[in-house]
Amino acid sequence: MKTIKINIPDNLSSEKEIFEIAKKLQQKSLSGHAKNKSVLRIGDNIDIKDIQTQIIITRVSDEKPILMVKCNVCDCEYSSDKPFYYFHNYGGIRKRNSVCSEDCRKFMLDNFGSRVSKSAKKLTNCINFFR
């Protein structure tokens, strides 16, 4: 028994769903990998090799879920879609960290001096830092 899995968006009308399913089934029947010469099919001829085929249709949402993240400075939780960023170069590599608010970012900027910056361009070069 052959299983075909099809993912379609969840906000389609019934006509558009049928069109998307037909389009995906046509792609599955005519596509193949170059490594497997026996599966590769070119043209409009479709040979049925499996008598039974199970088609699984999954409706997938386009929206990303909003996650709650813990702040490194004040240990409160905030949504991951609206963080405030600061940059640091500890260890010789520029890294972007996120915090919950402008106050937490200001706290990091005030307490860690030139090793922490609001933007990556204003961050001092770690090679010239100790000269």
Cα 84 to Cα 71: distance, rounded to the nearest angstrom: 10
E strands present in the chain: 2-9, 53-60, 68-70, 77-79, 84-88, 95-99, 116-117
Task: Domain ranges for the chain, please list them.
Answer: 2-60, 68-117
pTM for this entry: 0.53
- The tens place of each residue's pLDDT in the chain, 131 residues long, gives 778 888 999 888 989 999 998 888 888 765 555 555 555 555 555 566 667 878 898 999 888 888 899 998 999 999 988 899 999 888 778 899 999 999 999 999 999 877 888 988 887 766 655 55
- pLDDT value at residue 64: 81
C-alpha closest to that of 20 among 57, 48, 64: 57
Distances (CA, A) of 53 to 9, 26, 108: 22, 14, 59
Q: How far is 30 from 44, CA to CA, in rounded Å?
A: 8
